[in-house]
Structure 1
Amino acid sequence: MLVPTYDTQRLIDEAISPDIWMEHLGDLLKFWDREEAYTLQGGLFPTYRSNEGALINKNNLPEEIKAALDNTDTKGLVELDKNFIRSHSRQTYAYGIAFHMTGKEKYLHLCRKGAMALIEAMDGNYGMHVTRDVISGEGDITRAQRTSQDLAYGLTGLGMYYFLTHDQSVLHRIIQIKDYIFNVYMDDGRGYLTWYPKYTKDPDVQIVAQLDQLYAYMLMLTPSLPEPYKSIWKKDMKKIVDILITQFYSEKYKFFWGVENESTTMTLGTDHTDFGHSVKTFWVILKVGELLGNPFYIDFARPKIDKILKEAFIEKTGSWARRFDENGNLDIDKEWWILAELDQAAEILSIHDPSYYAYLNKTHRYWLDKMVDYENGEIWHMVDGKTDKPVINYPKIHNWKNALHSFEHVLFSYMTASRVKGKAFKVYYALPEWEKASHYNVAPYMFFANVVNIDKKEKADLPDNNDIYCVTYNSLH
């Protein structure tokens, strides 16, 4: 088979510019920067709003909510009596990304508002509630039914606020919940993090119970942690990567099984066995390898990301597929987070090899042309691969879809576009008065880069009398 050759300079010239990705941030904020989105409802940001952004009126449900409730595939995405911690946490994260990219203090305060609500949702010495009643705000009390994945995503919003501010009082809460997760769910006898607390003896072995500890908070936070936490977390990250490789990796298919509890689940077309979970696992392992200075993880992940990109790319439409179905055929429907993860994996590889823009120059445009709701903002959950039209029974937000993937996608795209175009880029932090920004204590999200300039801006109205810093980087890696 001939290896394709590319005019690399042409690919770079045709790549979407960082300015366009900054504009795309506005496409997302059109949905999230409105009072209905950030007015607390039972102590949390509302999990459910209409595709137009309005709060849900149970006496006059929008068509997409009706369609979701009438379809067996999507009915579980809508539980209108509850707000979900993971959704609130992801929205908190999104406001943090908006501040990180723009420096607008409004978004920092919304991120703090979300973080404080997450602290209020903590359950004493038992981690964090998973849901709260929409009206009363009463939290769930079934600790045995809280999954390790839900608790991990509860840390996403807190983690983003700490990443931006280095607020030590928030760090204390993060450490408390992280330790709870590892004490209650890490079963050394079985060799993995359990889905439900290990004392329940639940048989499920879920890849996301492991993976999302890394993805939801550890990879983002570990570089900014003080000792001894940084060293402890690095050891735990290595432990999780080893679990992922030994327990979930398929040498035959060169991707990861989603569930590993019995041989019948280790087949194509089953839950969490898709291009999204596999490519995310590989790029997370690659980034952990870079953070730990572990070349084995990097060398393990990089060629397998390349293989998945080749398999998932649909040349005819310039887009990504979701997975192989149970018959080994490509499922060409477009699920928003899988497209985001495949783009991000290609962007990571493009940092050192711009030829990956042979994919990205097409998949980026598919994202911007087909996945964005330009009228009301945000990204469609599902687009039909044959018609390129949104699938109505998947509401634009629900108890599993919020702002996390769309905002991470725009940040990755902005920074990597700056890299491929040879341009510097700016991001913002708000550090306490006693801690000045330097290349030792700030980094652009999950990446490393060269600090070109640090400019101290105005004071932020935060408890630690924080200074807002604009940090200019280049040479992203």
Structure 2
Amino acid sequence: MRFTSFVLWTTLSLSGLALPAQPTPAPTATIPADLPTGERWLRHFREDLLPFWNVPAAWGTPRGDFPTFRGNDGQAVDWAKPPAELAEALGWIKEQFSREYVRMKSRQTYFYGVAYHLTGDPKMLELARDGATFIRRRALDPQTGSAVSYWEQGVPKPEMLARTTQDLAYAQLGLAMYYYLTRDEATLRDIRKLKRHIFSQYWNPEWQALRWVKKESPDGEHLRQELVAQLDQVNAYLLLLTPILPPADRREWAADLKRLAQVMVRDYHDADRHLFWGSLHDPAQKQLGSRHTDFGHTAKAYWMLERIGRLTSEQPLIDLATTGAKAVLKQAYLPDSGTWGSRLRPDGSVGTGKEWWIYAELDQLAATLALTDPAQTAPLPRTAEFWFKRMVDPVHHEVWGGTGGAPGFEPWQGPKIHQWKSGYHSAEHALVGYLTAQALHRQAAILYFAPPSAKALLRPYVFEGSATTRTSLPLPGFPGRRKVAVTFTALK
């Protein structure tokens, strides 16, 4: 069944044809009465997340040079006497204290973009602009279009073709959110240039896939075949921007989305197990419990494939992704605790510990599927309750990196912000939670944009929807732009 669908989809794609999306069947299930409302998700964003990021210690010097590391109380780090969570951090975190990562500045830029998107506060858009400006001026190479991965004691590293495609994708994340909100043409020019660099320099004709790095090295990094080299191009910028680009760009980017979808299904997807393998270059990694073989990468891959299918009207891809997504959600849900597990252990059992980003991806996937199949809402009241009550730091805000396993699920007391954890996943979780909750409760969702014209094509994030009303006001601090509030209904 999987082989037939994939061959049919690939054949149609390569011939330049596309199957029309089939009509969505009328929902037959009802949503739980205690499914969190959109207002609950907005309150979570305003009260639990935003206070951690809306403080001077988070803004950087100059503003926009957002720090990779801060204390769990949100304060700047005194490296002569770091707080306990950093002094006692795991080795892989401590060994990179001397680095400032572009991907983390980009993720924080994204956070402020979401903050404006949900609240309409111009000060949040100013912070997003500060982050985007810093990345464009300091991290991007005007000659090649590449992006620095990190600065180590002020020195940009590594050399150009030793940078990973994952880091290059995440350099785009904050820029993409800023363009999505503002339609700033200068930002789009830099996004295009970096995207061309990635696909021209890192596409491997032999593999018909993106490389991890291009520069050959004795340690074999250039031979690594990684799911995230493909997947993170999609979720960081391609999917969000493709439908709002000028027509020529839209056609090219849609073709690239299809290409990457084919790579992920052809090379990394295990249809029998309903998972995606994290890497291919080491046969020892193609087993349960291996690096990046977890519910988070699998959920994100299925979510992205389902969204690509809808955007490009590829019904076989929608079917493949939906079937696999429902299976992995069923595997990941732990009914005794009403929570999501993080991965399958080597023996096939479900690991009960929590990782913040994996938990968020599973919630987002279930909520998206529920738009056409309300039965998928069944776990969401309990998974959301756990998130609000156990994952949030009630004193200093934001969310913990995760928890231990059953029965206690005690929060990890390690750093809440480091070289891989910022506000990206928690902000997207709240945004998707708000949009889908409003739709499932049959309420309109309001989002704020900042285009030059109120007539711009505006969409509700990675979803489709009907823009029923728009209001347009001057936007303080942004000459020539409007504060446009859009009411969306019929989310799908």
Q: So what's the TM-score if we normalise by structure 2?
A: 0.90
CA distance in structure 1 between the partners assigned to 2:158 and 2:356 by the alignment: 32
Which residue number corresponds to residue 196 of structure 2?
A: 179
CA distance in 2, matches of 1:43, 1:426: 27
In structure 2, the residue matched to 1:437 is 455
Partners of 1:65 and 1:78 within 8 A in 2: no
When structure 1 is superposed on structure 2, of 284-293 and 43-52 the one drifting more is 43-52
- The alignment's C-alpha RMSD in Å is 1.7
Counterpart residue type for residue 141 of structure 2: D
Of residues 316, 322, 345, the one that matches 1:325 is 345
Residue of structure 2 aligned with 1:248, choices 250, 257, 268: 268
| Mean CA deviation greater in 107-116 or 120-129 | 120-129
In the other structure, the counterpart of 1:103 is 120
Bigger CA drift: 351-360 or 334-343? Answer: 351-360
- Where 1:12 maps in the other structure, the secondary structure is coil
Q: 1:77 to 1:178 in 2, by over 3 A?
A: farther
Partner of residue 17, structure 2: none
Q: Distance in 2 between matches of 1:77 and 1:160?
A: 30
3-state SS of paired residue (1:151): helix
Q: How does 1:358-373 map to 2 (within 5 A)?
A: 358-373=378-393
Q: Between 44-53 and 257-266, report the one with greater CA deviation.
A: 257-266
Give, in whole Å, the separation in 1 of the partners of 2:455 and 2:397.
34
Give the % identical residues. 34
Instruction: Report deviation, 1:122.
Output: 0.6
SS at match of 1:212: helix
1:157 aligns with 2:178: no
Amino acid at match of 1:445: Y
Q: Determine which of 28, 46, 60 is the counterpart of 2:67.
A: 46
Shift of 1:294: 0.7
SS in 2 for 1:271: coil
Q: Aligned partners of 1:79 and 1:57: how far apart in 2?
A: 16
3-state SS in 2 of match to 1:14 = coil
Q: Report the equivalent of 1:3.
A: none
1:139 aligns with 2:156: yes
The residue aligned with 1:86 is: 103
What is the rounded CA distance, in whole Å, between the counterparts of 1:308 and 1:244 in structure 2? 16
Q: CA deviation at 1:254?
A: 1.9
Instruction: Give 1:141 deviation, angstroms.
Output: 4.7
Alignment correspondent of 1:427 = 447
Query: Is contact 1:115-1:158 (8 Å) kept?
Result: yes
2:157 maps to amino acid: D
State the alpha-carbon separation in 2 of the partners of residues 117 and 340 from structure 1. Answer: 28
Cα gap change, 1:159/1:119 in structure 2, threshold over 3 Å: closer, same or farther? same
Which residue does 1:473 correspond to in 2? 488
Aligned to 2:431, which of 390, 405, 411?
411
Q: Matches of 1:77 and 1:156 in 2, distance apart?
A: 25
Which position in structure 1 is the counterpart of 2:314?
294
Distance 2:275 2:254 in 1: 24
CA distance in 2, matches of 1:165, 1:42: 19
The 2-side partners of 1:218 and 1:424 are apart by: 26
Asked if structure 2 preserves the Cα contact closer than 8 Å seen for 1:449 and 1:473, the reply is: yes
Which residue of 2 is the match for residue 63 of structure 1?
Answer: 84
* Residue of structure 1 equivalent to 2:45: 25
1:61 is displaced (CA, Å) by 1.3
CA apart distance, 1:145: 2.3
State the SS of the aligned residue for 2:473: strand
Which of 449, 454, 469 is matched with 2:470 structurally? 454
- Looking at structure 2, the residues matched to 406 and 336 of structure 1 have their Cα atoms a distance apart, in angstroms, of 8
CA contact (8 A) 2:310 2:318 kept: yes
Q: 1:457 and 1:164, CA in 2 relative to 1: closer, same or farther beyond 3 A?
A: same
Q: Give 5+ residue unaligned stretches, structure 2.
A: 1-26
- SS of 2:357's equivalent? helix
* Deviations 1:303-360, CA, capped at 9 Å, x for gaps: 1100001100001110000101122221111000000000000000111122222110
Partner of residue 239, structure 1:
259
Shift in alpha-carbon separation, 1:399–1:194, aligned structure 2, 3 A: same
- Tell whether 2:328 aligns with 1:308: yes
Contact 1:380 1:396 survives alignment (8 Å): yes
- Rate the CA distance shift 1:7–1:14 in 2: closer, same or farther, 3 A: farther
Displacement of 1:44: 2.0
User: For 1:376, what is the secondary structure of its paired residue?
Assistant: coil
Match of 1:399 among 405, 416, 419: 419
Q: Which residue of structure 1 aligns with residue 143 of structure 2?
A: 125
2:16 paired residue number: none
The 2-side partners of 1:415 and 1:397 are apart by 26
| SS of equivalent residue, structure 2 residue 398 | coil
Amino acid at match of 2:169: A
Mean CA deviation greater in 262-271 or 195-204:
195-204
Query: Structure 1 CA distance, aligned partners of 2:469 and 2:289?
Result: 49
